[in-house]
């Protein structure tokens, strides 16, 4: 199929883009990398009358580390992050997760903002910003600037808190805590496919070896990436160990609301979630203790 007819605008500045959105919000779609929107247009699952192509707005792209953490422009390509040698030291989990996103050809065009705005529950970026406690900066003519916490940004499957006239402009990720160990594990049917289920973990500990502020996020297992807060509560203040991790993973699997689809049953997703969570906890511990360096 071919897309339904649409007008195409390529604003050169953020201000122009926001003006266009203000004038056409309900009829317009933002075009970033086009890796998701392109197929949606071709299949006429999206029929906007105007496309606002933000690829010429240079200020929306790039990485800016500072004392408050790392700011990532919404138009930053996945491959730009993948190729940045500084990323692994700044935000190890992001560096670990990017290679799981699709194939290199998709990562060459696909953007951080496009992935977040699309809000696929099996995508890596929603899980990343949820685990890392990031804030998402949106701008519009009517509301000005709005910082939205990752916990509030994702409403449900393919639905975010962005208003129709809002443009997602950047992601602000707090600094990685000293000594943190991370892991991302997922199961996909083929390399480059979306995860059937995945788990991300961050572990830190105090001087006495007790876990502090543990984070466990499951994705592909419900209508949005989910922090398994009951499992996190079991881990917080405890000494790490295989029995504890197994119990926390089993609890995490009760917190999700998985679905059946062509790729897997809900029951299988719940099983995967438990296995991946338990393994991710072990991996993150090994990295926190300096026993793994990959």
Ligand X SMILES: Cc1cc2nc3c(=O)[nH]c(=O)nc-3n(C[C@H](O)[C@H](O)[C@H](O)COP(=O)(O)OP(=O)(O)OC[C@H]3O[C@@H](n4cnc5c(N)ncnc54)[C@H](O)[C@@H]3O)c2cc1C
Q: How far is the CB of 147 from ligand X (least distance, A)?
A: 15
Judged by the rule CB under 6 A, the positions of this chain that interact with ligand X are 29-37, 74, 101-102, 106, 109-111, 113-115, 117-118, 123-125, 162, 167-168, 192, 194
Residue among 121 and 181 whose Cβ is closer to ligand X = 121
We find the least distance from the C-beta atom of residue 263 to ligand X, in angstroms, to be 12
Q: What gap in Å lies between CA 111 and CA 171, rounded to an integer? A: 12
Of 72 and 74, nearer to ligand X (C-beta) is: 74
* Helix, strand, or coil (residue 50): strand
b/e map 30-47, b = 16+ CB within 10 Å:
bbbbbbbbeebbeeeebe
Q: CB nearer to ligand X: give 106 or 286.
A: 106
CA dihedral 44, 45, 51, 53 (to 10 degrees): -110
**Between 168 and 216, CB nearer to ligand X:** 168
> Strand locations in the chain, DSSP E?
7-9, 28-31, 50-53, 63-66, 69-73, 135-140, 144-149, 154-156, 159-160, 167-173, 181-187, 197-205, 211-219, 226-227
| CB nearer to ligand X: pick between 152 and 206 | 152
Q: How far is the CB of 167 from ligand X (least distance, A)?
A: 5
Judged by CB, which is closer to ligand X: 70, or 123? 123
Q: How far is Cα 165 from Cα 141, in angstroms, rounded to an integer?
A: 8
- Give the nearest distance from C-beta 66 to ligand X in angstroms: 21
Q: Which residue has the tokens 């881990």?
A: 235
Structure tokens at 34: 């086009």
CB of 177 to ligand X, least distance (A): 25
* CA atoms of 150 and 125, how far apart (whole Å): 10
> What is the closest distance, in whole angstroms, from the C-beta atom of residue 97 to ligand X in the complex?
9
């Amino acid at each position: 199929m071919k897309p339904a007819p649409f007008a195409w605008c390529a604003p050169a500045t953020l201000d122009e883009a926001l003006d266009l959105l203000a004038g056409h919000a309900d009829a317009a779609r933002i075009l970033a990398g086009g890796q998701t929107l392109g197929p949606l247009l071709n299949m006429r699952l999206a029929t906007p009358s105007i496309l606002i192509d933000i690829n010429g707005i240079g200020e929306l792209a790039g990485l800016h580390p500072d004392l408050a953490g790392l700011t990532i422009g919404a138009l930053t390509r996945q491959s730009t992050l993948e190729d940045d040698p500084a990323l692994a030291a700044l935000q190890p989990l992001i560096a670990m997760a990017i290679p799981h996103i699709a194939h290199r050809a998709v990562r060459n065009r696909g953007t951080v903002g496009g992935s977040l705005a699309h809000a696929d529950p099996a995508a890596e970026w929603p899980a990343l910003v949820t685990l890392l406690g990031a804030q998402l900066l949106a701008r519009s003519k009517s509301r000005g600037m709005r910082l939205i916490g990752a916990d509030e940004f994702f409403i449900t499957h393919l639905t975010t808190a962005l208003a129709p006239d809002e443009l997602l402009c950047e992601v602000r990720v707090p600094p990685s805590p000293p000594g943190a160990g991370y892991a991302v594990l997922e199961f996909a049917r083929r390399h480059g496919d979306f995860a059937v289920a995945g788990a991300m973990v961050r572990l830190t500990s105090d001087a006495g070896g007790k876990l502090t502020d543990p984070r466990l996020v499951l994705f592909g297992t419900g209508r949005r990436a989910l922090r398994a807060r009951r499992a996190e509560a079991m881990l917080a203040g405890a000494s790490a160990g295989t029995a504890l991790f197994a119990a926390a993973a089993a609890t995490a699997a009760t917190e999700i609301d998985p679905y059946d689809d062509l790729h897997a049953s809900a029951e299988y997703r719940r099983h995967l979630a438990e296995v991946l969570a338990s393994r991710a906890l072990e991996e993150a511990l090994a990295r926190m203790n300096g026993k793994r360096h990959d």
